[in-house]
Amino acid sequence: MTLLQDGLWYKDAIIYQVHVRTFHDSNGDGIGDFRGLAEKLDYLQELGITALWLMPFFPSPLRDDGYDIADYRSVHPNYGTLNDFKSFLAAAHERGIRVIVEMVLNHTSDQHPWFQESRSSRDNPRRDWYVWSDTDTRYKGARIIFLDTETSNWARDPVSKSYYWHRFFSHQPDLNYDNPAVREEMWSIMQFWLEMGVDGFRLDAVPYLIEREGTSCENLPETHVILKDLRSKLDQHFTGRMLLAEANQWPANLRPYFGDGDEFHMAFHFPVMPRMFMSVMLEDRKPIMDILQQTPAIPDPCQWCLFLRNHDELTLEMVTDVERDYMYDTYAGDKAMRLNLGIRRRLAPLLENDRRRVELMNGMLMSLPGTPIIYYGDEIGMGDNIHLGDRNGVRTPMQWDGGWNAGFSSADPESLYSPLILNPVYGYPAVNVDSQKRSGHSLLAWMKRIISARKSTQVFGRGSIEFLHPANHRVLAYVRQLKNEAVLVVNNLSSSAQAVELDLQRYKGNILVEMFGRNIFPRIGDLPYLLTMGPYQFFWFRLRRI
């Protein structure tokens, strides 16, 4: 299989997020690697995903799971070599799977040679590669992001006896993007990987590139200038590549990251994610409707990225205080589940391992406007371990089978990079790929079916959305439309059966064809279209005028 040469491939993509370390260990050292990942590409192809997003795999002291990069042009020895990466990349492309690489622009590790040089003396040529100050009182308007660990955005460096700026951990000094040399170097690094063949970058923490006094130091116009410049260079030199923005912001603040179609191709829609959880718990479509109605239109070539869970905590930064309290109380009763402004749990435990809710949430993920991202292991309902520090509880080894180390590694269990999940509900003997492959009714089998259904039409990736407003607020209904193709999506957010009347007059005369069983439902007539739905049930109907 070869990659389809469609510049808008990312709109139809099904992205699978994985950390190399977590997926499969080929050399028995207890840590996943690129060879191991390559060995599992057949599994991913069978699942139906079309793109892989790899978390940072660069040399790093690993104090923030690789987001503290010490060398941007190499591979961490734990994960293999640059050649291993190239082989993996070729193998993925052979299977029609694109590869998106993490690029941490905002900061480096404090062990990066640049920072070591920068701190070494005030006269060092790289001094201005980072943001230094003699006081810790500048940029007071900037919030502290990692509230649980940091008390200031400034840290005093004992070597140079001055303060350096960091928006995240204090071991992650921010690069100084006012320095043209920094900008040039980062583009050069991106070129390095693009020339190797990577299909896109997920650019980490992009709102924070520039600092200005008297501002929040987020989303500044100068930041957009830098990002537009990167995009321009990308378009000049490469085709079919994609930039994905990680900017945990409100929709109105996110919109500028698309520019006029000349900045990012895609951006995560962070605020919709917690509201999907909220809607299901409240059994009320209002939170989802509220945020999507606040979401501005984006340029045609651009796309939102949607996800249910990822490697971080379920972020509650983009919710109100009332909503955050509600989310904590309902999804994180145990305080150990909370981290920063979020909840460090996986999808299945969040939803109490309720298969119906897991399916409903995935159904919405796949049918709302945007490109869906599946976090590794969520396709089989993996659990988490809230007793591991930081966000490591959602980064445990992939559970391939019920055997030695869950089929992840041949190493001694003590030498695994992380303990396996062992509890009776989510432990690898109960939840693993091998056992789920044996059943046509497993979550894995169901995920394959829904991915297949999603891929059967471009309407979900590229179509418009029209919300219906049935009086029953427990039902979220919308019509996705692309040219002459229309799909009606109806989601019952409630734990009980619901009757709903839909105003489908605009589609009068169409029959409904359910997309999974392909059964025909009655033709739309003059009356409101009555549907009865089981608890957490959802329907995807093709509207066909036959």
Residue 449 is a binding residue for other proteins (CB under 8 A): no
Q: Which of 187, 238, 328, 467 binds other proteins (CB under 8 A)?
A: 467
Residue 354 is a binding residue for other proteins (CB under 8 A): no
CB of 466 to other proteins, least distance (A): 13
How far apart are the C-alpha atoms of 199 and 188, rounded to whole Å?
16
The single residue listed with the structure tokens 């000349």 is 262
Of 444 and 468, which CB lies nearer to other proteins in the complex structure? 468
Residue 251 is a binding residue for other proteins (CB under 8 A): no
Tell me the three-class secondary structure of 43-64, residue by residue. Answer: HHHHHCCCEEEECCCCCCCCCC
How far apart are the C-alpha atoms of 91 and 96, rounded to whole Å?
9
Secondary structure letter of residue 195 according to DSSP:
H
Q: What is the CA radius of gyration of the chain?
A: 23
CB of 35 to other proteins, least distance (A): 49
Q: Give the bridge partners for 268, in sequence order.
A: 305
* Collapsed DSSP state (helix, strand, coil) of residue 446: helix
Assess whether 246 carries a catalytic annotation: yes
**Residue 213: other Cβ atoms inside 10 A:** 9
CB of 478 to other proteins, least distance (A): 11
How far apart are the C-alpha atoms of 503 and 92, rounded to whole Å?
45
Given 246, 312, 359, 379, the catalytic residue: 246
Secondary structure letter of residue 98 according to DSSP:
E
* Collapsed DSSP state (helix, strand, coil) of residue 15: strand
Contact segment (CB under 8 A) with other proteins among 230-238, 390-398, 449-457, 491-499 equals 491-499
Question: Residues near 233 by Cβ (< 8 Å), separated by ≥ 6?
Answer: 187
Q: Which of 172, 409, 494, 510 binds other proteins (CB under 8 A)?
A: 494
Residue 287 is a binding residue for other proteins (CB under 8 A): yes
**Residue 140: other Cβ atoms inside 10 A:** 10
Residue 503 is a binding residue for other proteins (CB under 8 A): no
Assess whether 378 carries a catalytic annotation: no
Q: Which of residues 259-278 bind other proteins (CB under 8 A)?
A: 278
Q: Which of 8, 196, 289, 465 binds other proteins (CB under 8 A)?
A: 289
Contact between 27 and 77 under an 8 Å Cβ cutoff? The reply is no
Of 136 and 501, which CB lies nearer to other proteins in the complex structure? 501
CB of 467 to other proteins, least distance (A): 7
Binding mask 315-334 for other proteins (x = CB under 8 A): -----x-xx--x--------
The residue among 79, 129, 281, 103 whose CA lies nearest residue 190 is 103
Q: Check residue 96 and give left, alpha or beta (phi > 0: left; psi -120 to 50: alpha).
A: left
Q: Which two tokens stand for residue 106?
A: 């905002």
Residue 474 is a binding residue for other proteins (CB under 8 A): yes
Of 427 and 535, which CB lies nearer to other proteins in the complex structure? 535
Residue 407 is a binding residue for other proteins (CB under 8 A): no
Of 39 and 283, which CB lies nearer to other proteins in the complex structure? 283
CB of 472 to other proteins, least distance (A): 4
Q: Which two tokens stand for residue 282?
A: 């409240």
- Binders of other proteins: how many residues, by CB under 8 A? 27
CB of 468 to other proteins, least distance (A): 10
435-438 contacts at long range (C-beta below 8 A, 24 or more positions apart): 435/401, 435/402, 436/380
Q: Which of 156, 469, 508, 545 binds other proteins (CB under 8 A)?
A: 469
Total residue length of the chain: 546
CB of 497 to other proteins, least distance (A): 10
The single residue listed with the structure tokens 């599992």 is 40
Contact segment (CB under 8 A) with other proteins among 133-141, 289-297, 410-418, 452-460 equals 289-297
Q: Which of 71, 501, 503, 514 binds other proteins (CB under 8 A)?
A: 501
Amino acid occupying residue 133: S
How far apart are the C-alpha atoms of 476 and 391, rounded to whole Å?
32
User: Within 13 Å of residue 176, how many CA atoms lie on the same side as its CB?
Assistant: 17
Q: Which two tokens stand for residue 183?
A: 């900008």
CB of 322 to other proteins, least distance (A): 6
Residue 491 is a binding residue for other proteins (CB under 8 A): no
Positive or negative, the CA dihedral 277, 278, 282, 285 is negative
Residue 484 is a binding residue for other proteins (CB under 8 A): no
Residue 544 is a binding residue for other proteins (CB under 8 A): no
Residue 356 is a binding residue for other proteins (CB under 8 A): no
**Residue 414: other Cβ atoms inside 10 A:** 7
Given 65, 68, 157, 204, the catalytic residue: 204
CB of 314 to other proteins, least distance (A): 17
Of 53 and 326, which CB lies nearer to other proteins in the complex structure? 326
Residue 147 is a binding residue for other proteins (CB under 8 A): no
User: Within 13 Å of residue 269, how many CA atoms lie on the same side as its CB?
Assistant: 28
Of 126 and 285, which CB lies nearer to other proteins in the complex structure? 285
Q: Which of 71, 178, 262, 283 binds other proteins (CB under 8 A)?
A: 283
Residues annotated catalytic, as ranges: 204, 246
- Which residues contribute to the site for other proteins (CB under 8 A)? 278, 282-287, 289-290, 293, 320, 322-323, 326, 467, 469-474, 494, 496, 498-501
